[in-house]
C-alpha cells in the first residue's frame, strides 16, 4: 500500500485500523446527519473513533454549498433549503438517492485533497460500471457524467466535500432512482446546459442493497483501505 505524504509508522497504524461502515435503513434528516458527522470528525481527530463510511438517504430537500448562487434556486418554495458547509453549489437530496458520507483521516492517509477528490470520483465511476454504465469526468464540471442514448450529457453522481484538520466529511451522492423532477427546482451544481439522470432512468433495475454492495466492494480498491471492516447497527 502506498500513501502519499505518510510516514511508515502512520501507515502501519492505518493498516490495522478497521473502517466502520454504517448503512441506514431509514431516511435521516439532513441537519441531524451534519451534526453527527461533525461530532464524528472531532472524535476521529482526537483518536477516539474509527474512520466511518455512512450510506444513507435523506428526505427531499435542496442543499446550498459554499459556492451556491441565489439565482440558481429556481423554486425556493418547492422543498426545504439547507445551507451547508460543504463545497459546491445547489443540489437535491431525496429518497432513491444513495448518499455516501466519508470520514477519513487524510493526515494518516496522505494530506492530498486533490487526490482524495479524484478517489471519490473514481469510487462512483467504478461502482456504476458494475451496472454497465460508463461514468466520466468533465473538465471544469464537478461530479460524474454519462452520455445518454440520445447523446445528451447528464449527471449521475455529485461530489461535495469538507475537510476539518485533515479529516474529511460529506462525500458523494449517486442517483439510483430518485424523483428527477425535483432537480427542476434548482440549477444543479450551477450547470445550465446539462441534465440529471439515474440508474433507473438509464434502464438499470437495481435495488439500494445492490448499489450498497457495489459501493462497499469498490471502496477498498479505490482508497486502499484496510481489509477489516466492521458494520454498525443501521439507523
pLDDT at residue 230, as a whole number: 53
Delineate the domains of the chain, giving CATH numbers in brackets: 8-232 (3.30.930.10)
pLDDT at residue 189, as a whole number: 60
What's the pTM?
0.86
Active site residues: 189
Pairing label, strands 81-83, 90-93:
unpaired
- How does 6-42 read in b/e, with b if 16+ C-beta sit within 10 Å? beeebeeebeeeebbbbbbeeebebeebbebbeebbe
Tally helices (H) and strands (E) across the chain: 5, 12
pLDDT at residue 190, as a whole number: 56
pLDDT along the chain (235 residues), means of 10: 28 59 96 97 97 98 86 90 84 96 95 94 98 94 91 94 96 97 81 84 97 96 60 53
Cα→Cα distances 218→123, 177, 191, Å: 6, 20, 28
- Cα angle, residue 189 at apex, residues 201 and 176 outer, rounded to 5°: 25
- Whole-angstrom Cα Rg for the chain: 17
Cα→Cα distances 220→21, 22, 223, Å: 12, 15, 5
Q: Which residues pair with 103 in a beta bridge?
A: 52
Instruction: Give the whole-angstrom CA distance, residue 111 versus residue 116.
Output: 9
Look up cell 477528490; give the residue.
Answer: 117
Amino acid at each position: 500500500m502506498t500513501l502519499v505524504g505518510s510516514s511508515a509508522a502512520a501507515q502501519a497504524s492505518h493498516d490495522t485500523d478497521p473502517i466502520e461502515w454504517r448503512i441506514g435503513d431509514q431516511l435521516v434528516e439532513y441537519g441531524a446527519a451534519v451534526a453527527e458527522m461533525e461530532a464524528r470528525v472531532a472524535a476521529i481527530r482526537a483518536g477516539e473513533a474509527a474512520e466511518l463510511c455512512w450510506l444513507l438517504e435523506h428526505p427531499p430537500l435542496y442543499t446550498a454549498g459554499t459556492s451556491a448562487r441565489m439565482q440558481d434556486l429556481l423554486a425556493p418554495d418547492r422543498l426545504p433549503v439547507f445551507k451547508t458547509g460543504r463545497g459546491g453549489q445547489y443540489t437535491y437530496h431525496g429518497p432513491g438517492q444513495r448518499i455516501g458520507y466519508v470520514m477519513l483521516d487524510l493526515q494518516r492517509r496522505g494530506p492530498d485533497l486533490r487526490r482524495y477528490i479524484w478517489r471519490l470520483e473514481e469510487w462512483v465511476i467504478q461502482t456504476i460500471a458494475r451496472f454497465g454504465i460508463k461514468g466520466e469526468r468533465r473538465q471544469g464540471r464537478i461530479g460524474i457524467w454519462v452520455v445518454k442514448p440520445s447523446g445528451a450529457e447528464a449527471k449521475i453522481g455529485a461530489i461535495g466535500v469538507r475537510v476539518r484538520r485533515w479529516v474529511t466529511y460529506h462525500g458523494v451522492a449517486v442517483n439510483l432512482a430518485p424523483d428527477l423532477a425535483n432537480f427542476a427546482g434548482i440549477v444543479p451544481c450551477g450547470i445550465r446546459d446539462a441534465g440529471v439522470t439515474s440508474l433507473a432512468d438509464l434502464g438499470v433495475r437495481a435495488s439500494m442493497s445492490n448499489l450498497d454492495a457495489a459501493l462497499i466492494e469498490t471502496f477498498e480498491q479505490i482508497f486502499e483501505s484496510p481489509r477489516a471492516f466492521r458494520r454498525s447497527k443501521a439507523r
